[in-house]
Structure 1
Amino acid sequence: MVATSKPYETKASDLKPKWHVVDAEGQTLGRLATRIATILNGKHNPLYVPHLLTGDYVIVTNAEKIHVTGNKVAQKIYYRHSGYHGGLTERTLADMLEKHPDRVIRQAVKGMLPKNSLGRKMLKRMKVYVGPNHPHAAQVSG
């Protein structure tokens, strides 16, 4: 009889999420979003499995100071629909950065995560703040 060993299976009890702080000042939007999405997805972790929430928490500060290349500030358009006829509204990236700079990063990262319930849970682990301060100092240090 030959003794065979089973491969290691990651269990939910094995996962201990960490907290990462990312400063968005001067960083390009797309490159920053891919870095954040990788951490939220857990693909940086050797325990990664696609069916568990293996990612970590991410805190993004200075969301209003991101950088975009080219003429995207004037040409990139964000669409929203209210659900009613004629309810399509559009805003440029400049408007979004002026009124809700945190939503720009949130929407960029959301597009890079899985489109299912696990992806929605991953997105909830991202906290975006406009200024340099955040209320999660205890989690980051601990």
Structure 2
Amino acid sequence: MSTQVQEQEVVINAEGQILGRMASNVVRLLKEGKKVVIVNGEKAVISGDKNRVIQSYKLLLTVRTLFNPYRNGIRRPRSPINIVKRTIRGMLPKSSKGRRMLKNVKVYIGVPKEFEGRQFIKFPDADVSRLKGKYVTVEVVSKELGWSR
């Protein structure tokens, strides 16, 4: 029984993976019904100049609403875990099926002890070596947004 569960669980190493391309591959695995675990989530990269990427994320923090911001304001992710999950969430179907699929995603900072020694998957089409220009890690963006470990 446990081997069948392990076959359904896919462990992905996000180190040196382009965030958007990795997220689209994760969504494909979720649609196949698999559980996805992402380790080293803070080491995923976002393509683009560091200042431009950080500026675009900070721009989302300045968006205001007419509602009471203390009761139901716009919540923006600041931690690397939530940034990665939010990227995946944006690619999922906007339905109850998509919400169920999002529950099958776990993102970790670093490699937890329970996953040490396991085989990790890296997507070749999401490798950072494809980029010719600049890029920034999710951890750097998170720290600029105010995340502290």
TM-score by length of 1: 0.62
Shift of residue 118, structure 1, vs aligned partner: 1.0
Match of 2:128 in 1: none
Q: How does 1:1-142 map to 2 (within 5 A)?
A: 18-42=8-32, 55-70=33-48, 71-77=52-58, 78=60, 84-87=67-70, 88=73, 96=78, 100-133=79-112, 135=114
Give the Cα separation in 2 of the matches to 1:34 and 1:63: 15
Larger RCO, structure (CA 8 Å, separation 6 or more):
2
Identity, % of aligned positions: 31
SS of equivalent residue, structure 1 residue 21:
strand
Larger Rg belongs to:
1
Deviation at 1:84, TM superposition (A): 4.2
Q: Which residue of 2 aligns with 1:12?
A: none
The 3 A distance-change label for structure 1 pair 112 and 129 is same
Deviations 1:38-64 (A, max 9, x none): 10111xxxxxxxxxxxx1000000011
Does the 8 Å contact 1:61/1:134 carry over to 2? no
Distance 1:64 1:89, change over 3 A: same
CA deviation digits over 1:96-136, x for unaligned, max 9?
Answer: 2xxx1000110011111111111111110111101112546
Moved over 3 A (4+): 77-84, 86-91, 134-137
Secondary structure (helix, strand or coil) at the match of 1:115 reads coil
Query: 1:114–1:90: structure 2 CA closer, same or farther, 3 Å change rule?
Result: closer
Q: Which whole-Å CA distance do the structure 2 matches of 1:134 and 1:116 have between them?
A: 34
Report deviation, 1:81.
Answer: 7.7
Bigger helix share: 2
The whole-number CA distance in structure 1 between the counterparts of 2:64 and 2:106 is 25
Closer, same or farther: CA 73–116 of 1 in aligned 2, 3 Å: same
RMSD: 3.3
Unaligned runs of at least 5 residues, structure 2: 120-149
Matched residue count:
107
Deviation string 1:24-78 (CA, Å, 9 cap, x unpaired) is 1111110011010110111xxxxxxxxxxxx100000001111111131332244
